[in-house]
Structure 1
C-alpha cells in the first residue's frame, strides 16, 4: 500500500468579499481535490496547538505525525538540517531573512523574492563583516540561517507578520536580544551599498538591505518516521524547513529542478519525482509553497491560480498515474490558514480529505473549508492524521 500526502501550503482562507463571500478554495477550479473529497473521507484537523505559533514548521510536524508540543524546538534548527549545518548541543539556530526596509518601515519580508545567487553573495558579505562570534549560512532565495550561542529566549517576530510596520517597533526584545539588535543594525551598512543592491535599485527592484533573525531553537530529538510507521519514504519541497523536518524524521529529501518555493515553482516536476520515488518507497509527502506566498502578497488572483495549479499539476498528475502502483491512499490538505485579509498564518483547523483505493466514501462532494466539516472524521488532532492515513482500518 502506497501512502501519499499532498500539502498546498496556506490554501485555507476566510470568506473574501470580492469573491462573493466565498473562499479562494471554493472559487478555484479543483476537480482533483474534489474527487478525493467526494470519493474519500473528510474532516478538520488542528495542526497548530493553541499555545504555539501557526507556522509551517509546527503544522507540518503535525501532518507528519509528530506532536509539536513534544518535538518542536524552533524553525531555525529545521532549516539548519536542510542545508547540512550540524548544530552543537549549545548552538542556537535562527532563520535569517534578507528583507527590505525603507524609510524606517519593513516593506518586503523577501526582498522581492531575491534570487539564491544574489542572496548568497549578500549573506556571505554579512558573514565576512559580522560573523566574528556567530555564523551566517546561505539558504534559498531570501531564507538564510544564523547560528550563535545566545538568544534562545529572545522574542523575535517573523517579518511576514509585520510588513508595513516600523523596524524599531518590532525589533527582537527580551533576554538575549541585544546582540540580535546589534547585528540587524550593523547589517544595513554592509548591505545597503553592496553592488548587488545597487543593481537591484537601478532595476527598480526591492533591495535586500537588512537581515531579520527569527524562529530560533536548538536541535530537536525525535524518532524516525520508519520507527513510527514501519515504512520508508521521502519529502519533496523547495522549502528548507520541510526538508529539515524530513531529515530529522529520517526521510529521503528529493530535490526537484525548478522547484522555487514561489508561484513559478515546477508543479509538474514535483508530481513526477514523487511518482518515481514511490517505485522504491511506500510513502511520499509533496509540499507546495505557492498558495501561501500568494496569500502573503495579498493577491486573490495569484492564490486562486496557485491552488488551481496545485490541483491540476500535482494532485491530478498523481491521481492519473497512481493506479499503476496497486492499492494506495492519498491525504490532501493545507498545513494552515493564510487568509488574504491578514496576509499571515492563522491557527484554525484545516480541511483534509483521505482517498483510499480500498475504502468507501463518506458523502462529502467537494474539498473546501466548509464542506470538510461534514466528513466522517469530524475533528482530529493534527498529529493523528498520519495514523489515519497509514492505518486504513483505524477510526479515531
Structure 2
C-alpha cells in the first residue's frame, strides 16, 4: 500500500456571496476530487490546538502526525532546519520576510504594510536585497540567511522569543502597533527601509509595476526544534515535496527525504505536474511508502484576497496534482490511500488564517464505497465525521490505530 497526502495550503474558506454563498472549494471545478469523494470518507478535522496560533507550522505538524503541543517550538526554527542552519541551544530563529510598506513621507512607524510577499518576489531578487541588509546590519549577534522567495531567516545569538506579528495578518494596516517591542529588532526593521527602498533593484522593480521589497519584517520566533523520526514513529519511509522552507524543515526534522522539483516555487504558477510526478516516481520507482505533496498557492491567493486566483489554484491542484497522482499510481498497478485536505482556512474576506476545522477526504483504492457527497466544507460537515485532535488523523490514514 502506498500513501499520499495532498495538502492544499489555506484551501478552506467561508461562503462568499459573489459565488452564490458557496466556498471556493465548493464552487471550483474539481472533477477529480468529486470523483474520489464518492468513494471516500470525508469529514472535518481540527488541526489547530485550542489556544495556539493558526499557522501553517502548527497545522502541518498536526497533519503529518506530530502533536503541536508537544513538538512545536516556533516556525522559524523549522525553516532553519531546511536552510541547513545548525542552531545552538541558545539561538533564537526568527522569520525575516521581505515586505512592501508604503512610500509616503510619514515616519516608518506610521507606514502601512502593503504586501507581505513583495509581488511574490523571486529568490534571486530577494537574495540581492538581503545581501544589502547583511552588509549593513549583520554582526556576531544577528546572522541573516537567504531562504526562498520573500521568506528568509534571522538567527539571534543568545536572544529571546519575542512576541512578533505575522505580516500577512495586518495587510493594509498602519504598522506602529505591530512593531517588535524589542528595540534591537525594531531598529533593524526601520534601518532596512533606508537600505532597501531606493536600492537599484527596487527602482527597477517599480518600473516593471512590481511592489518594492523595501523592508524586512520579523516574526515567528522560536527555539531549536526536536522531532521524532517519522519512520520510527510510523514504520513508513517517506518523502516531502514542497517549495516552502517550513515544510522542508519539518521534513529534515522528521527524517523525510526532501525532493526538489524544478519550477516549484510556491506561487500560483508553480510546477504542479512536476510535484505530482515526483511523488509518483518516489512511490513507484524508488519504493517509498509515503509522499507528502504541499501546494502553497491557495494560501497565497487567500492572503492576496483574490477569489479568481484562489479558484484557479484549487482547480490546478485538482487537475494537475491529484489527477496526475491518481492516474500515475493506477497505471503502475499500485494500491494506495490518498488524504486530501488543507492545513487551515485562509478566507479571502479577511486575508489571513483562522482556526476553524478543515475538510478532509480519505480515499482507499482497495475499498468500494458509494456516497453522494462532494469534497467541500459543507458536505464534510454534513457527513458527521469529525476529529478534534488533528494529529490523530495520520495514524488513521496509515491504518496504524
> TM-score under structure 1 normalisation?
0.96
Partners of 1:150 and 1:183 in 2: how far apart?
Answer: 17
| Conserved? CA contact 1:92–1:217, under 8 Å | yes
SS in 2 for 1:259: coil
Partner of 1:159: 167
Question: Are 2:318 and 1:311 aligned?
Answer: yes
Alignment of 1:100-111 (within 5 A): 100-102=100-102, 103=104, 104-111=111-118
What are the within-5 Å matches in structure 2 for residues 146-185 of structure 1?
146-173=154-181, 177-185=182-190
Deviation at 1:85, TM superposition (A): 1.2
Q: What corresponds to 2:107 in structure 1?
A: none
CA distance in 2, matches of 1:125, 1:364: 57
Out of 132, 135, 140, which is 1:125 matched to? 132
* Structure-to-structure mapping, 1:69-148, within 5 angstroms: 69-102=69-102, 103=104, 104-132=111-139, 133-148=141-156
1:265-284 to 2 correspondence within 5 Å? 265-279=270-284, 280=286, 281-284=288-291
Alignment of 1:1-396 (within 5 A): 1-102=1-102, 103=104, 104-132=111-139, 133-173=141-181, 177-279=182-284, 280=286, 281-323=288-330, 324-361=332-369, 363-375=371-383, 377-391=385-399, 394=401
CA contact (8 A) 1:41 1:376 kept: no
SS at 1:208 equivalent: coil
Is the 8 Å Cα contact of residues 92 and 161 (structure 2) preserved in structure 1? Answer: no
For each residue in 1:209-239, what CA deviation from the matched residue of structure 2 results, as whole angstroms up to 9, or x when unmatched? 1100100101111211001101110000111
Question: For 1:43 and 1:34, how far apart are their aligned partners in 2?
Answer: 14
Distance 1:233 1:325, change over 3 A: farther
Deviation at residue 166 of structure 1 after TM alignment: 1.1
- Give me the CA root mean square deviation: 1.3
Superposed displacement of residue 151, structure 1 = 4.8
Task: Name the SS for the 2:292 alignment partner.
Answer: strand
Q: CA-to-partner distance for each residue in 1:62-107, whole Å, 9 max, x for gaps?
A: 0000000000011101111111111111111111100111131111
Q: Distance in 2 between matches of 1:371 and 1:151?
A: 47
| 1:290-315 Cα deviation digits (max 9, x unpaired) | 11111111111111111000000000
Q: Offset at 1:189? A: 1.6
Deviations 1:116-165 (A, max 9, x none): 11110111111111011211101111110000025533211000111111
TM-score by length of 2: 0.95
How many angstroms apart in 2 are the aligned matches of 1:118 and 1:89? 32
- SS of corresponding position for 1:241: helix
The aligned length equals 390
Measure how far apart 1:34 and its partner are: 1.4
